[in-house]
Amino acid sequence: MVTVGQLLEKKGHDLYCVAPEEPVLRAMEIMATREVGALLVMDGGEMIGVISERDYARKVILMNRSSRDTPVRDIMSSPVLSVAPEDTIHHCMEVMTGKRVRHLPVVAGGKVLGVLSIGDLVKALLHEQSEQIQQLQRYIAG
């Protein structure tokens, strides 16, 4: 079974962050530039939240707020759900579907190692299933 740590090794450990006092517009610019759907909200070296496109849509657009005048801290999701490198991708899928989140930071020893998206997990699960099917086909044919 594939672990979060193994998946991060393939995906990479890039972290895209924003400070809590930054305007939401800045967070949206970073997401667009980096082509990601969420950013970690970091205060110094501490992860205090996550801001996602969903937060923007629900807490800025629908509430008729200004992206320029609203600080990230006002709309970020907090507390943050996270997983550990030894967790499995199946566990991550259970957390994401159960809590209805699309991004999970990976944390070990209080340090953020990376972020997994629902897309990362679906891709990994499809690859895992494909390998299992090939193994079964070889077993049946052999």
What span, in angstroms and rounded, lies between the C-alpha atoms of 86 and 105?
13
Fold held by 4-141: CBS-domain (3.10.580)
What span, in angstroms and rounded, lies between the C-alpha atoms of 134 and 142?
12
Contact 70, 56 (CB under 8 A): no
Tens-digit pLDDT string for the chain (142 aa): 889 999 999 998 899 999 999 999 999 999 999 999 999 999 988 999 999 999 999 999 888 899 999 999 999 999 999 999 999 999 999 999 999 999 999 999 999 999 999 999 999 999 888 888 888 888 888 7
pTM: 0.87
